[in-house]
Structure 1
Amino acid sequence: MAADSKTEKATPKKRRDERKKGNVFLSNEVTVILGLLGMFVLLRMYFPVLLQVIAGYAKEMFAASSLLTDFTAGGLGNMAYRFFINVLKAGLPLLLTAMALPVIAVGIQTRFLFTAKNFTPKFNRLSPLEGIKKIISLRNMVELIKNILKTIILILILYTVLKKDFLEIVKTMDMDLALSSAFMLNMVFDMIMTIVLVFTVIAGFDFLYQKWDYERRIKMSKQEVKEEFKETEGNPEIKGRIKTLQRQMAQRRMMQAVPQADVIIRNPTHFAVALKYDAEKHAAPVVIAKGQDELALRIVATGEEHGVTVVENRPLARALYAQCELNRPIPVEFYGAVAEVLVYVFKMNQKWSNNGQ
């Protein structure tokens, strides 16, 4: 049970997979409020143009109707054409904005994701049991509470505005048409602005809730994290076994090179470094083998079996082991100390050769 509980944050791979499926974080309230706010701002800015288009069309129709003496197909067609053109002038910017704003709002939240997987039919949705689960889910309960809250707030705003301006609304009956229209229009704009501001706060809370809910839904269990790691990085046990085999093979190759060494510098039991110096190939002695503890003893034993000179120098052996890389020349700072050892070894080997003769 503990292994199946989803307690781990989603990994980057999990997030990419969910995104490919179309499962992304999205707040519909933010989409609605951005669309509503954009339409409100546009309408407030575009309203004078809208009035001008409507007034111009009305004057044009009144003038045309006073000159119209006979209803013909051509005359009616021209009137229909002029009506269509003016409707486009008045309504097309609003229509395009109403279509574009939700797309932009959704695109910003989803980073303009488009996937065809959401169009694939899912027959499990036809299951009555799945339908009941969705009805009583936490997500739907939150949506229900949110919609009830929005309805109550909307009613309260309408009631407050109408109560405050009730007497003024009654007085518009005796006002000039232009003045009463301007008053009603300002009242409607103020009411819409109040609704937008209040719903913006609701959208902010919904954004935070949807973010939390999305992170909760894509959480992973510890077992899922392990399985994903195996898929992406490989099974740790297999990788460990491969590294062990590679290390063993490298050690075997290194031990095969020990007999070719000119000298082995050791720290009695802890460190051993085998050096080879070929003046024609390298400017400095090369480390062909090195080891610690048991491996150091094996290097020394192999060298002694093949007649390689072993020199005990504790500080030099420790320093060479720590700072030198395998199959690389020794650093410059060791030239002097190693040269002394090699000179000693070469003289000793030459002396043994002379005695042998």
Structure 2
Amino acid sequence: MSSDKTEKPTSQKLRQQRRDGQIPSHKNTAEAGSIIFATGILFLMLPALSVTALSMATVAWDSINGTWLEALRKIVPAISKLALLFLMSVALMAIFSLLLELLLNKFNFSARKLTPKFEKFNPFNNVKQLFSLDSLVSLLIKIVYFCFSLINLYFSIYNNTRDVISASTCGMRCLVGLYVNFLKINIGVFLLLCLCIGAADYIIQKRLFLRRNKMTKDEVKREYKTHEGDPHIKSARKSIAITDAMLPGPQQATHVIYGEQCLVAVIYHVGKTMGPFVIGTAKGPSVVRMCALYKELGIPTIFLPSVALDFFRMAELGNFLPPRSAHGMKKILQMAPSKA
């Protein structure tokens, strides 16, 4: 049925959707990118954060026996350094998240998305959104996150149980090294999971967006007709039609050069024209039919495959051939006289 939406959305409709602010949702992809970037920033700033936090703890312990004002005066510089590092990291994360969102949305901005939508207050619409395909995909992604993280944590603990028991007898240094290595492995696996899910979500959301915007055959035909009515296209077609109407008829050709796959008809008078003027071309099966037509008109029809192919490649209807066609024209004149 023509009312079934089975056709892919046209480029014109996708552009209109983008102008209206309707673009694929890449929320999970943006979240994955932000998490990976934030982890990288914290990892790079970890030495400075550790030193600052340790100095703050040392000042706090040393100030226990002093007065409250002395302790405050000592601990404020340490806190300010730690706060400055955190603010710098938060600012970098915010800038990266903003740029990533703009990149995923192809720097698209629409004021229509900011207008309030009162249909969201309708409970029935909220229930429909709850069971929509987008919601189910988002729920599935969260389940994958949870299950994979749980399985990874279980196997990490299971495989390191003996090392934990052995490290407990050698003191704090062994335990610290063991748990730092444990955290590195688990964080690395989690970031790899984020990267895979983010890439998969980007592809899934793009396909879901195209699926939501499918069109019926009637809509595609209607849009095609509307596009064909574009003034620029009409103007170009009118110009081509005028050019074709002004071309001389086939009976005015003086030479016809053809090969097995192409044919070119030209007007050329020695010493009278600037060069061969193209009034007709043919390619493929129509070569035989056009060749017979020109022969019936009594126009010299010359079989020169190499010259015909060369002329066909540089021929434009209603235009003169370029100067490099002179060598081919010389061969043509040697083989047959021009039409009287």
- Is the pair's TM-score, using the shorter chain for normalization, greater than 0.5? yes
Instruction: Judge which range, 6-15 or 89-98, deviates more.
Output: 89-98
Conserved in 1, the CA contact under 8 Å of 2:168 and 2:174? no
Cα shift at 1:90: 3.5
Q: 1:128 to 1:60 in 2, by over 3 A?
A: closer
Task: Tell me, in whole angstroms, the C-alpha distance in 2 between the residues paired with 1:45 and 1:132.
Answer: 44
Q: 1:61 to 1:127 in 2, by over 3 A?
A: closer
Conserved in 2, the CA contact under 8 Å of 1:53 and 1:89? no
Aligned to 2:82: 87
User: Which letter maps to 2:21?
Assistant: G
Cα shift at 1:132: 2.6
Task: Tell me, in whole angstroms, the C-alpha distance in 1 between the residues paired with 2:20 and 2:133.
Answer: 22
Count of residue pairs brought into register by the alignment: 291
Partner SS for 1:195: helix
Alignment of 1:195-206 (within 5 A): 195-206=190-201
Aligned to 1:120: 115
Match of 1:131 among 126, 133, 148: 126
2:225 matched to 1:230?
Answer: yes
Pick the structure with greater CA Rg. 1
Aligned to 1:34: 33
Q: 1:135 to 1:85 in 2, by over 3 A?
A: same
TM-score (norm 1): 0.61
Aligned to 2:4: 5
Task: Tell me, in whole angstroms, the C-alpha distance in 1 between the residues paired with 2:85 and 2:297.
Answer: 94
Deviations 1:129-163 (A, max 9, x none): 32232222222222223322322222111111122
2:151 matched to 1:188?
Answer: no
Task: Tell me, in whole angstroms, the C-alpha distance in 2 between the residues paired with 1:136 and 1:227.
Answer: 33
Aligned to 2:99: 104
Task: Tell me, in whole angstroms, the C-alpha distance in 2 between the residues paired with 1:115 and 1:27.
Answer: 17
User: Which letter maps to 1:314?
Assistant: L
Cα shift at 1:191: 0.9
Superposed structure 1 runs of 4+ greater than 6 Å apart: none
Task: Tell me, in whole angstroms, the C-alpha distance in 1 between the residues paired with 2:165 and 2:99.
Answer: 42
Match of 1:315 among 288, 298, 304: 298
Cα shift at 1:20: 1.5
Q: 1:77 to 1:21 in 2, by over 3 A?
A: farther
Conserved in 1, the CA contact under 8 Å of 2:6 and 2:215? yes
Task: Tell me, in whole angstroms, the C-alpha distance in 2 between the residues paired with 1:103 and 1:93.
Answer: 16
Q: 1:233 to 1:314 in 2, by over 3 A?
A: closer
Partner SS for 1:13: helix
Task: Tell me, in whole angstroms, the C-alpha distance in 2 between the residues paired with 1:198 and 1:160.
Answer: 16
Task: Tell me, in whole angstroms, the C-alpha distance in 2 between the residues paired with 1:9 and 1:109.
Answer: 22
Task: Tell me, in whole angstroms, the C-alpha distance in 2 between the residues paired with 1:38 and 1:108.
Answer: 15
Q: 1:48 to 1:80 in 2, by over 3 A?
A: closer
Aligned to 2:304: none
Cα shift at 1:121: 1.1
User: Which letter maps to 1:17?
Assistant: Q
Cα shift at 1:85: 1.6
Aligned to 2:267: none
Q: What percent of counterpart residues are identical?
A: 20
What is the Cα-based RMSD across aligned positions, in Å? 4.9
Partner SS for 2:188: helix
Point out where structure 2 has 5 or more consecutive residues left out of the alignment: 254-271, 274-278, 280-295, 302-314, 321-325, 330-336
2:151 matched to 1:152?
Answer: no
Task: Tell me, in whole angstroms, the C-alpha distance in 2 between the residues paired with 1:128 and 1:61.
Answer: 54
Q: 1:163 to 1:206 in 2, by over 3 A?
A: same
Point out where structure 1 has 5 or more consecutive residues left out of the alignment: 255-263, 266-282, 285-289, 291-312, 342-357
Deviations 1:15-47 (A, max 9, x none): 211112222224333222222222233333322
Q: 1:59 to 1:133 in 2, by over 3 A?
A: closer
Aligned to 2:206: 211
Q: 1:63 to 1:227 in 2, by over 3 A?
A: same
Cα shift at 1:113: 2.2
Deviations 1:297-331 (A, max 9, x none): xxxxxxxxxxxxxxxx932599xxxx9x99x9xxx
TM-score (norm 2): 0.64
Alignment of 1:214-293 (within 5 A): 214-234=209-229
Conserved in 1, the CA contact under 8 Å of 2:29 and 2:202? yes
Conserved in 1, the CA contact under 8 Å of 2:24 and 2:206? yes
Cα shift at 1:52: 1.8
